[in-house]
Structure 1
Amino acid sequence: MTLPLPAREALDAFAACPGWEQRARLLMQWGERLQPLSDEEKQDANRVAGCESQVWLVGTCSEGRWRFRATSDARLIRGLLAVLLARIDGLSAAELAALDLPDWFNQLGLGRQLSPSRSNGLNAVLQRMRELAQG
């Protein structure tokens, strides 16, 4: 499967970071690039269950390709969401279903830094994306 352009950019950017502190700083910067959600979009129906931080997710499908927008009240989580969105931007429902999330974060060099609660939260976000994609 070829990576979406934003995912390749993420891989290049994170590969250039020699250590966790630089990656953490880069994550925060990526988080600032997220498109903000409106107050209407930050409603309970769009909130992802299973995340310690508050996370909201909205998705749209056009010609079988999914685009998601998400945000969180936590800066580090916004960064993780940004690199997740970079990876899944424009995927079909079948490609979303097949995505190996731990592998993606390992490729970025972030896998070892994900606490179990963050890992569970990101899995909950991906699960919600899959639910939306399945209709």
Structure 2
Amino acid sequence: MDLQRIADTFEMLDDWEDRYSLLIDLGRKLPEFPDAARTEDNRVEGCTSNVWLLTHVTDDQPPRIEFQADSDAFIVKGLVAILLEAYSGKTAQEILDMDIESLFNELGLAQQLTPNRRDGFVAMVKRMRAEAQATQSHPTA
């Protein structure tokens, strides 16, 4: 599901229980994450739940960044799915230019998530943006 469809679907759902169900459903559709990649090095710092993130930089010109991620918490996994939809497959500059906070607010997540989940979302965004920054600084890395 692309970002616009996610936003449209969120807008159609009046009840936050339905929106949480949508988040959980998005998380269930994430591709399988390799067990061997569930390491401390791949864990996103700042998340109360465990979130693991893998980054692959393509050989395209300009390089594109492919993210793969997972969480052990259902709602967080849905947030991960939204971030993967937003960032994965984009160039470093596209990631750095994206106003993810607007999307977060448009979906109403800022008001509905617990502070821990909100902090975790911010931590995931920071990590993905740091990966984009590193790719931009060292495009052959």
Tell me the TM-score normalised to structure 1 length.
0.88
> In the alignment, what sits opposite 1:20?
16
SS at match of 1:66: strand
Pairing 1:106–2:105 present: yes
Calculate percent identity across the aligned residue pairs: 37
For structure 2, which runs of at least 5 residues remain unmatched after alignment?
136-141
Distance 2:112 2:12 in 1: 17
Distance 2:40 2:32 in 1: 16
Question: Aligned ranges for residues 1-135 of structure 1 at < 5 Å?
Answer: 6-62=2-58, 63=60, 64-133=63-132, 134-135=134-135
Q: 4+ residue stretches of structure 1 with deviation over 3 A?
A: none
Q: Please identify, of 35-44 and 48-57, the stretch whose mean Cα deviation from structure 2 is larger.
A: 35-44
Listed one character per residue, the Cα deviations across residues 20-65 of structure 1 (whole Å, up to 9, x for unaligned) are 1110111110010111211111111110111100000011122222
Distance 2:89 2:5 in 1: 15
Distance 2:55 2:4 in 1: 22
Distance 1:42 1:118 in 2: 20
* Rg larger in structure: 2
Distance 2:9 2:121 in 1: 21
Structure showing greater relative contact order (alpha-carbon pairs closer than 8 Å, 6 or more residues apart): 1
